[in-house]
Copies of this chain bind each other. A is one copy, B any other.
C-alpha cells in the first residue's frame, strides 16, 4: 500500500478521479479518502489540485501502459491476443461496478478543452501508450505500420467501449469491439515475447 502521505494522496486522487473525473472531485474528498488534512495536500503539492491530478495521471498512465503487453504475452496468435485484451477488460469492468478502469480517460474527456496543463499530461500518457504498444508489437514481429495502427485503434477502441459500457452499464460494447477487431488478425503469428528488463526500484 501507499506508505508516505504523499503517495496516499496520489492513490486516493487517482481512485476518485477514475470514477468522477476532475471537476467532480473536491480537495476535501481527496483529504478524507487519503486520511490527510487539507493543509497537507497543499504542503506536498504546491501546485494544488492540478498538480495532484498531473502526478496521479502520470503514475496511473505508467502502470496501465503495462497491461496490454502483460495480457498479450500469453498469446502466440495476434487475433487471439486482441480478443483477449477486450475480454479481459470486460471481465475487469464487471468486477468494479462499471467504474472506468483508469483515471486518464475519465479526466481527459473533461479537460481537453479547459485545463491545458492537464490536457498535455493526458496527451503524454496516451502517446506513451501508443509508442510502448507499437514497440512491443514490433518486438514480437509485427510490421511497424500495422503495429502502430493496431495499437492506436485498440486504445481508442478500449476508451470508447469503456465510455459506452459505463453509460449503458453493460459490457457488451467491450465484447463487441473484440469480436469486430480480432478476426482480421487471426492467423498472424507473434514471435516469442522479449523479457522485460527489470525496472529499477525507486
| Interface flags, A155-176, vs B, CB<8A=1, else 0 | 1111111111011110011001
Closest to A125 in B: B167
* Interface stretch (choices A1-9, A30-38, A69-77, A105-113): A105-113
Q: How large is the interface on A (under 10, 10 to 19, 20 to 34, 35 or more residues)?
A: 35 or more
Question: Bound complex: CA of A74 vs CA of B167, how far in Å?
Answer: 31
Contact residues of A between 103 and 144, Cβ < 8 Å to B:
105-106, 108-110, 112-114, 119, 122-123, 126-127
- Does A53 have its Cβ within 8 Å of any Cβ on chain B? no
Q: Which residues of B contact A172 (CB under 8 A)?
A: 152
List residues of chain B with CB within 8 A of the CB of A52. none
Q: Evaluate contact between A163 and B105: CB separation under 8 angstroms.
A: yes
Q: Does A194 contact B (CB under 8 A)?
A: no
CA distance A126 to B164 in the complex (A): 7
Partner of A180, one of B100, B153, B169: B153
Contacts of A119 in B (CB 8 A): 167
Q: Which 5 A-B pairs have the closest CB atoms?
A: A160-B160, A156-B160, A153-B180, A159-B160, A23-B23
25 CB contacts below 8 A, A to B, read A20-B113, A23-B24, A105-B109, A108-B166, A112-B163, A112-B167, A122-B167, A126-B167, A126-B168, A148-B176, A149-B179, A150-B180, A152-B172, A153-B180, A156-B160, A156-B164, A156-B173, A156-B176, A156-B177, A159-B160, A160-B160, A160-B161, A181-B181, A183-B184, A184-B184
